[in-house]
Each structure stands twice: as structure tokens, then as C-alpha cells.
Structure 1
Amino acid sequence: MPSAVIFLHNANQLADEDRDRFLACLSEAELLRYQRFLRPLRQREFLSGRILLRFAMSRLAGIAPDAVHVIERKNQAPLVQLPVTSTVHPRFSLSHSRGWVACAASVDSALGLDIEALDTERDVDAIGRAAFSDAESSWLSSRPVENKVADFYTLWSSKEAVFKLMSAQEGDAASPELVAGGVRLRSGPGWHARTWSQQGLAIALCSGDRLHSVAQIYLLGATPSAWSEQLGND
């Protein structure tokens, strides 16, 4: 049955020597994009995210990370090319937030992933009124005060994940309504959503097919070799 895996990594621990080795793995187009980011945090997220993508694809396809080729595309997610001999071609989605990076991958289904760092200082009701539909904003306003921040980020990340999924499948797709009859929806035509809270993050994964299982793996090391050692042959 369809399944997926989410690899989660804290890019804030990236050391200078690892950064230099990671940069050597990028394509020329990826390097140009990396250099266009002005903030060091965003550079770390982009760089670690691209290394994490290569690791995730190699893990699912059973090939070496350097056999994974990543092609930059303007205003779109990157394109991954695997060797013609590969019998598995995983689909993926990337996300980042405040130094954390995540990659969801599946050999069965299209995906959309979003992670958001929880911030209890934000006026989530005001943001909801500005960013959500009337039904979604009303749902958020009705939530208990003690749950409101978590509920806001769950809805926000779900909307982002659905949008990514729809965009990957259909191009310029409108984000569907995620609240109906005062209830937050967890599925709709062509999408199925799962949400979690981990490491101070709201995590939402949307898939084109209903998934039987989703593994969440928090990668403890700073490099692909450490990640491989952590996971072993599982």
C-alpha cells in the first residue's frame, strides 16, 4: 500500500567544513541560487535541503547520493534525475523553517510537505483573518485559547502542503477550502492530509493517494554519512 517517509534535519548545526563539502556537491545552477540568498540562515536551509534531497532519493532508490542529479527550475521545485538503470523513481517535497529542513519522499504517491516553526508571540487571529478564507478564519476564531496557536499552524501548514501537492500535479492550481461546516477537512478531491507536531514544528504532509503509513525520521548527525550510519540498512 502507498507509504512515505519524512526526513527532518536541523541545519543550524551545519559546520563550516561541512558547508564547503556540501557546496562542492551542488550543480552550477544550484550554486548560483545559493549565492543569491542574502541571509546566512536561508543559505544553510537551501544547502542542507539540497543535500537532504539527494540523501532521501538515494535512500529510496538504493543508489549512491552522487548518482542523484538535481536540476534547478525557475519558480518551481527542482527536478531530480536518477540513473536510467534505476527501477524506482521517488517523488518528493521539500520544506524549511527557521533552520530546519525536511524532505518527504514516496515511491507511490505525489506529495506536498510543509513545516512551520511554532511562534507563540504571533497574533494568529489577525494573520488568519488576512490569509485564510472566511470559513477558515471563523474556525480558527472558535478554537480554545490554549490550542489556538497550534491549530493556526496546523491549518497554515496544511494549506501550504495542499498547495504544493496541487501545484506539482496541475501547475497553477487553486488551494482548496480546508474548513467546511465548521470542521477542518483532512481530505478532499485528489488530496489527503496528515499533521504532526515535533521538535517545535508543525508538520503537514499531503498526498495524492491515501497513505498506509508515514515514517518520520529525525536525522541526528550533520552529514549524509552520519545519517547513513544512524539508519543502517533499514
Structure 2
Amino acid sequence: MHQVPATGHREAGPGTPAPGECHLWHVPVRERPDWLPILSREERATADRFTRVRARHVFTTSRAVQRLVGAHYLGLPPGDVVITRHCHRCAAPTAAPHGRPRFAHGTPPPVDYSVSHTEEHLLVAVTGHGAVGVDIEGPGSLRDVDGLARAALTTAEREHFGTLSAGDRARWLLAVWTRKEAAMKLTGLGLRVNPRELDVRGPLLSAGSVPEWPDTPVHLYDLPAPEGHAAALASTVPMTRTRTCALPAAADAGPRPARR
């Protein structure tokens, strides 16, 4: 499987990604009370409704980091970053906004991004050209290896799966599932797509009979991931390099409250 070259780690994020470049923001999930003021009133209310502490930390980390990353590229205070999740397939607004998240600044926005998480890690991928999808998965995604293989693999992928040793099957399946998730998030179709129609073994995704699947080629890349995890990137333009970025230390101290 194809892996896009990396250009190293930066403590502070660079400017808008150049053509063929993707910026990756990796943030550990943990409790950060100083980030709560970044969230909107609705997001803080949603966070308060979580009964599982870890799920609340995942939610607040994800929403705050999206605003912090957006602030970097948009030149705005984090609390002023507006994120939309409009699904263009829904004829009317829904009670629970869904769809690909986007920064509601500019037409189109200056960057496209995708976000994914496990209970321990959050990953945001940002590109300045084309669209992007990212996914990170942990061991918890493989509670039933054979069941996931039956539900998610194409015929050709299942044949390859059958040739692997028992020790290699789980690792290979996790990487394949991550690539499928990244591609489904890229299109905005999500799990409405039957993953058994998506062959992700090569550098370009091969889609079977999938309603509304775009004509644009989908490029696939494996990404470095924490131990026991897998991460993948899908993009509508070829990626020649990635740059791993880190939030500045000041992001943990006294953010400006959200206006919405």
C-alpha cells in the first residue's frame, strides 16, 4: 500500500498547504478545561449531556481542535471560526446537522479538511487544493476480524485476506478498513456506501456500483500512526508530501470565548 512522504514535524503550523501537500494535525485526547470556552453554546450543551467521560473528552477535543486549526489558516480567533456540516443530499435542514465539516469562511473556503478520532487520538488533515478525507482507527475496531472482513471486503480483497497468516490478517484488515473510511468521508457519503464495493488495495480507489460516487479519482495513502493504530488519507488530487503540525502551547491557555 502507498504511503505519502513526510517532511517532518513542526511546532507551529505553516501557511496554507501548497499543491500536493497535506498538513496533519495530531492531538492526544485528554481533558482540557481551558478549551471549553472555544466551543459554541450548543456544543457545550452537547458535551454536558455525555455520560461517559472519555466520550465527552473526545467530543470537546474534536470541536475545539477544529476551531484552533481553522483559526490558524483563517487568521481569526478560534471562537470566531464557524464550522458548517450541511449535507447537500438533504432537501431540508435536519435537527442534527451532518455531512462533511467545512469552514464557513470564503466561497470556497481557503482550505478543505477532514477529522477523525479514536478514544486516544485526534487527527485532522488539511489541504489547500482539492478535497481530503482522513481516518484513524485503533484496536477496538477489530473486535470481530472475520465479521468485519465479511462485511467490508470486496471479493478480490477477501481472496487476498484468505492468503494471509492469522497474525497478519488483523493488521492488514485494519489498514484496509481505514482506507475505506477515509474515502467514504472524502465523498461525504459515509457509511451509506457499501464498503464491499470499494477496492482500496492500490494507490487509486476502484469503486463498483456505488450510487452518487464521484467521477473524480480518489487517491489513497497510508499515514504514520501510533502503536497499534492505522491511519489513512484519501484525496481528489495526488499528494506528494505531508507535514505534521502541532498546536502552539498557547492554545491551552485562555482562548477567546465563542460568539455563537
**TM-score class, shorter:** 0.7 to 0.9
Q: Greater helix percent: which structure?
A: 1
Q: Residue 31 of structure 1: which of 7, 30, 44 is its match?
A: 44
Counterparts of 2:172 and 2:218, CA distance in 1: 20
**Cross-structure match for 2:73:** 60
| Residue 6, structure 1, aligned to residue 19, structure 2 | no
Q: Contact between 1:23 and 1:31, CA under 8 Å: does it hold in 2?
A: yes
CA distance in 1, matches of 2:162, 2:246: 33
Cα RMSD after superposing both structures? 3.1
User: Alignment partner for residue 45 of structure 1, among 40, 58, 77?
Assistant: 58
Q: Which has the higher contact order (CA 8 A, sep 6+)?
A: 2
Q: Quick check: 2:36–2:44 contact (8 Å CA) kept in 1?
A: yes
- 1:27 Cα deviation after fit: 1.3
Note if contact 1:30-1:72 (Cα within 8 Å) is conserved in structure 2: no
Among 130, 145, 148, the alignment partner of 2:166 is 145
Query: Which structure shows the higher strand fraction?
Result: 1
Q: Is 2:238 the counterpart of 1:210?
A: yes
- Give secondary structure in 1 for the equivalent of 2:244: strand
Residue 164 of structure 1, CA deviation: 0.5
Counterpart residue type for residue 103 of structure 2: V
What corresponds to 2:138 in structure 1?
Answer: 117
Give aligned-pair identity as a percent: 22
1:192 corresponds to 2:225? no
**For residues 109 and 174 of structure 1, do their structure 2 counterparts lie closer, same or farther at Cα, with a shift above 3 Å needed?**
farther
Gaps of 5+ in 2: 1-18, 87-96, 206-215, 254-260
The one of 84, 103, 108 aligned to 1:80: 103
Secondary structure class of the residue paired with 2:116: strand
Find the aligned partners of 2:170 and 2:114 in 1 and give their Cα distance.
25
Deviation at 1:23, TM superposition (A): 1.9
Between 155-164 and 32-41, the greater mean CA deviation after superposition: 32-41
Query: What is the CA-CA distance between 1:210 and the residue it aligns to?
Result: 0.8
Contact 1:2-1:109 at 8 Å conserved across structures:
no
CA distance in structure 2 between the partners assigned to 1:204 and 1:26 by the alignment: 28
Residue type of the partner of 1:103?
Answer: V
Which one is further off, 150-159 or 65-74? 65-74
CA contact (8 A) 1:57 1:105 kept: no
Using the alignment, how far apart are the partners of 2:84 and 2:39 within structure 1?
10
Taking the aligned partners of 1:199 and 1:138, their CA distance within structure 2 comes to 28
1:198 Cα deviation after fit:
2.0
Counterpart AA for 1:138: E
Q: Following the alignment from structure 1 to structure 2, what is the Cα–Cα distance between the partners of residues 125 and 174?
A: 17
Give SS of 1:24's match. Answer: helix
> 1:115 offset after TM fit, Å?
0.3
Q: What is the Cα deviation at residue 116 of structure 1?
A: 0.4
Distance of aligned partners of 1:87 and 1:64 in 2 relative to their CA distance in 1, 3 Å threshold: farther
Shift of 1:218: 5.9
SS at match of 1:33: helix
Shift in alpha-carbon separation, 1:121–1:202, aligned structure 2, 3 A:
closer
- Cα shift at 1:10: 1.0
Is this contact kept in 1: 2:142–2:174, CA < 8 A?
Answer: no
Deviations 1:60-82 (A, max 9, x none): 33443233223455232434223
Count of aligned positions: 213
- CA 1:210–1:22 in 2, change beyond 3 Å: closer, same or farther? same
Counterpart of 2:53, as a letter, is: P
- In structure 1, stretches of 5+ residues that fail to align are 227-234
Instruction: Give the distance between the partners of 1:166 and 1:110, measured in 2 at CA.
Output: 9
Cα displacement (A) at 1:44: 0.7
